[in-house]
């Protein structure tokens, strides 16, 4: 069956996206194979107690900074061999808090320094680069503010520098607040996949492994030989570790040395972290892949894996392309089954490639405790699906070369379920990306109805998973938004403006929810009025093609006439849904005339004997016309979605939501300026 050019283009995009996504997925399974097959041989060498500089880059982390300093000063290591540099770029209470802590520990004999460079130029990478000017120790350990190194960390990690070419040892991240919420559980499982599969596989082979920015120890000579810290990307850790390995240094991962850290508990903070990682990876791909490709000493497999790791976030825009394309292809009656005559194999293939394979991996990772971790997998699938919008925006930001701004992920010292972060400083508001998530969620609801009404219910779980993900991420982004930007550690009563802002916020949330519900209702109503009649007509045409009974054919044609009347009421005077470059094949007036001709032919042959040649000729003619009209309806279906009225309504709907968002943001900015003016 011929496919119209628009559907053919969408189908090609869908298939290309599927192939690329499958390739990245299979590569993850390949790394899983490497991590299991290649047994760890982590040799150690007694190096005594070499000099170590511990660098702690910090910016506005008053809830966790002191906890980190206490943990570092509690390390079981000679004070004279351990220099601590607190790289503090803060501009809030964190400065005074750390100054007091430094003075206390200096009195106890620690070599501890509170470094204030007076600028945030280069952000975290700039602070580390600045600190290296006065660093003369053999090793450099780095911890972010939310990490809590165990007291034995240095004594257990440093002996793994057993060979002269080892430039970095990366330790595994633990999760001190993993069980705080579904968000933290999903993040913990995702990070475990990264460390116990990807990092483990690469560490035990000749593949490039990345530094994760914290909970690791560098050999100072390695940092200097690789060119030091660069500030051109948002992921200075990935950048430096790849440049070091291009120079011949080896990076290793230590899965048995776990450093606990705090996971983001606020959705907007988690989205910011994911955004930074996604954008930074693409930036590194643009910066480094050319050099890796021409480097002779780098193995071909290492080059391929470097390309895959640095570009893997392009999977997210490809996921959105598939998500957008699937309902269009289903509405156009395009066959997307893996095996056309056994539709159930399609969903079985998706399950085997996705959740089924991940369950096997979880079993290998966690052994006896795998069942408890497997229960988190649905949350992770929903979380990752919903994050695809946020990470897609990050990818395009990187590709288009948008200016970098290192926005840190705020932490609140949250450990137990009883701990609350909502009234603390650093709370982040939702961003414009949330509006896109709502759009994709509503589109997904339409896609579910399309898959049902087009007799393709097998695709409902696939569309539904992403739809739930979009709505979940958007809902959590709204519900985790707070207007209060309190910088002072002293609590205060809300001002009149802040109380009004909270009222406006609540009313706006109600209004936005109402608009979304109304938009969803109108989308369903529009589908029922414009698209579903075409689906019914195609079904009747199918029945006519396979029938030789004039009574049955007449009944199908009568139903088609009714549906035609419904569709044509909503069309303009041209009676053609294609409003740019229309063709006769999609002219519903011509289709109606052809149906009338079929009705007349059916009436004529219904009075002649069924075994006559005239009867058979007439039936063949009706069957042929039904086949042609079915193709015409398939050509017209995609254009019914982009009718002038639908575009106008969608534009107005989105404009109202953006208007509410703009009003909220304007109010938030006013409050922020008021806080700054009053010195709060």
From the list 88, 89, 239, 635, the catalytic residue is 89
Q: Average pLDDT of 70-81?
A: 96
Per-range mean pLDDT, top range of 352-356, 442-446, 519-523: 442-446
Q: What is the pLDDT of residues 636-668, one digit of tens each?
A: 877 777 666 777 777 777 777 777 766 666 666
596 noted as active-site residue: no
Of 15-19, 123-127, 394-398, the range with the lowest mean pLDDT is 15-19
* CA pair distance 584, 591, nearest whole angstrom: 9
pLDDT in tens, 129-142: 999 999 999 999 99
Query: pLDDT exceeding 70 applies to what percent of the chain?
Result: 88
Over the range 198-231, which residues count as b (16 or more CB within 10 Å of their CB) and which as e?
A: bbbbbbbbebbbbbbbbbbbbbbebbeebeebbb
- What's the confidence (pLDDT) of residue 490? 47
Between 551 and 484, the more confident residue is 551
108-156 residue pLDDT tens: 999 999 999 989 999 999 999 999 999 999 999 999 999 999 999 999 9
Q: What is the pLDDT of residue 488?
A: 44
Which band of pLDDT confidence, cut at 50, 70 and 90, is reported for residue 485?
very low
- Could you say which of 88, 144, 192, 237 is catalytic? 237
Q: What is the pLDDT of residue 669?
A: 62
Contacts of 72 (CB under 8 A, 6+ apart): 54, 56, 84, 143, 149
- Name 268's Cβ contacts closer than 8 Å, sequence gap at least 6: 427, 428, 429, 430, 431, 477, 480, 481
Confidence label for 514 from pLDDT (cuts 50, 70 and 90)? confident
Mean per-residue pLDDT of the chain: 87
Can you tell me whether residue 297 is helix, strand or coil? coil
What average pLDDT score do residues 232-259 get?
95
Q: Are 393 and 275 in contact (CB under 8 A)?
A: yes
CA distance 141 to 383: 32
675, pLDDT greater than 60: no
Tokens representing 110 are: 């620690």
Distance between the two ends of the chain, CA-based, in angstroms? 69
Q: Which of 200, 315, 194, 326 has its CA nearest to residue 255?
A: 200
Of the listed ranges 377-386, 521-530, 640-649, the least confidently predicted one is: 640-649
Tell me what pLDDT residue 623 has.
92
- Is 563 part of the annotated catalytic residue set? no
Answer whether residue 229 shows pLDDT above 70: yes
Give phi and psi for 152, each to the nearest 5.
Answer: -90, 10
Higher pLDDT, 358 or 600: 600
pLDDT the model gives residue 269 = 94
Distance, in Å, from the CA atom of 606 to the CA atom of 462, rounded to the nearest integer, reads: 46
Alpha-carbon span 170 to 199, nearest angstrom:
9
Band the pLDDT of 487: cuts 50, 70, 90: very low
| Integer CA distances (angstroms), 34 to 198, 212, 365, in order | 9, 20, 13
pLDDT at 1: 47
Residue-range domain boundaries for the chain: 48-267+281-293, 483-680
CATH fold of 48-267+281-293: Spore Coat Polysaccharide Biosynthesis Protein SpsA; Chain A (3.90.550)
Mean pLDDT, residues 299-318: 95
Q: How far apart are CA 198 and CA 162, in angstroms?
A: 22
Separation CA 217–CA 130 (nearest Å): 18
């Amino acid at each position: 069956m011929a496919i119209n050019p628009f559907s053919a283009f969408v189908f090609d995009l869908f298939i290309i996206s599927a192939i690329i996504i499958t390739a990245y997925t299979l590569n993850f399974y390949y790394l899983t194979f490497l991590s299991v097959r290649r047994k760890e041989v982590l040799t150690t060498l007694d190096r005594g107690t070499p000099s170590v500089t511990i660098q702690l880059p910090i910016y506005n982390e008053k809830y966790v900074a002191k906890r980190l300093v206490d943990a570092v000063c509690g390390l079981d290591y000679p004070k004279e061999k351990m220099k601590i540099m607190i790289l503090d770029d803060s501009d809030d209470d964190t400065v005074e808090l750390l100054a007091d802590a430094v003075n206390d520990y200096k009195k106890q004999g620690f070599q501890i320094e509170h470094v204030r460079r007076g600028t945030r130029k280069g952000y975290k990478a700039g602070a580390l680069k600045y600190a290296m000017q006065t660093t003369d120790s053999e090793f450099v350990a780095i911890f972010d503010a939310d990490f809590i190194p165990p007291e034995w960390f240095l004594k257990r990690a440093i002996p793994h520098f057993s060979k002269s070419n080892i430039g970095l040892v990366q330790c595994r991240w633990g999760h001190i607040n993993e069980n705080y919420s579904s968000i933290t559980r999903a993040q913990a499982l995702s990070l475990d996949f990264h460390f116990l599969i990807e990092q483990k596989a690469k560490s035990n082979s000749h593949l490039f492994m990345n530094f994760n920015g914290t909970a690791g120890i560098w050999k100072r000579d390695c940092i200097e030989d690789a060119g030091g810290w660069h500030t051109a990307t948002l992921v200075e850790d990935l950048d430096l570790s790849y440049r070091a390995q291009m120079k011949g240094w080896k990076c290793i991962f230590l899965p048995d040395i776990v450093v606990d850290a705090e996971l983001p508990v606020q959705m907007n903070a988690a989205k910011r972290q994911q955004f930074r990682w996604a954008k930074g990876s693409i930036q590194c791909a643009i910066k480094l892949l050319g050099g890796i490709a021409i480097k002779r000493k780098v193995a071909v497999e290492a080059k391929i894996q470097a390309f895959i790791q640095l570009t893997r976030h392009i999977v997210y825009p490809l996921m959105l392309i598939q998500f957008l394309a699937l309902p269009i292809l289903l509405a156009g009656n395009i066959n997307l089954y893996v095996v056309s005559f056994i539709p159930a194999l399609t969903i079985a293939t998706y399950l085997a490639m996705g959740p089924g394979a991940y369950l096997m991996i979880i079993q290998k990772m966690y052994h006896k405790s795998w069942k408890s971790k497997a229960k988190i997998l649905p949350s992770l699938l929903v979380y990752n699906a919903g994050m695809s919008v946020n990470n897609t925006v990050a990818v395009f930001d990187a590709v288009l070369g948008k200016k970098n701004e290192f926005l840190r992920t705020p932490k609140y010292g949250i450990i137990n379920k009883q701990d609350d972060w909502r009234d603390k400083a650093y709370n982040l508001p939702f961003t414009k990306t949330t509006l896109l998530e709502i759009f994709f969620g509503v589109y997904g609801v339409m896609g579910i109805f399309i898959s049902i009404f087009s007799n393709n219910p097998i695709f409902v779980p696939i569309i539904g998973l992403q739809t739930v993900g979009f709505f979940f991420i958007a809902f959590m982004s709204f519900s985790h938004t707070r207007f209060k930007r309190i910088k002072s550690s002293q609590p205060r009563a809300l001002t009149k403006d802040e109380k009004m802002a909270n009222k406006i916020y609540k009313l706006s949330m109600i209004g936005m929810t109402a608009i979304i519900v109304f938009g969803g209702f109108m989308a369903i109503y529009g589908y029922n009025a414009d698209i579903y009649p075409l689906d019914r007509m195609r079904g009747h045409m199918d029945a006519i093609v396979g029938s030789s009974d004039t009574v049955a054919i007449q009944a199908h044609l009568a139903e088609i006439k009714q549906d035609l009347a419904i569709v044509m009421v909503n069309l303009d005077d041209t009676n053609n849904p294609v409003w740019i470059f229309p063709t006769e094949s999609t002219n519903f007036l011509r289709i109606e005339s052809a149906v009338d001709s079929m009705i007349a032919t059916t009436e004529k042959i219904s009075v002649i004997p069924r075994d006559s040649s005239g009867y058979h000729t007439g039936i063949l003619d009706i069957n042929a016309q039904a086949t042609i009209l079915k193709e015409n309806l398939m050509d017209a279906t995609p254009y019914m979605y982009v009718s002038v009225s639908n575009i106008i309504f969608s534009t107005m709907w989105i404009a109202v939501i953006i208007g509410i968002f703009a009003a909220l943001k304007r109010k938030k900015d006013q409050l922020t300026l008021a806080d700054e003016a009053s010195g709060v």
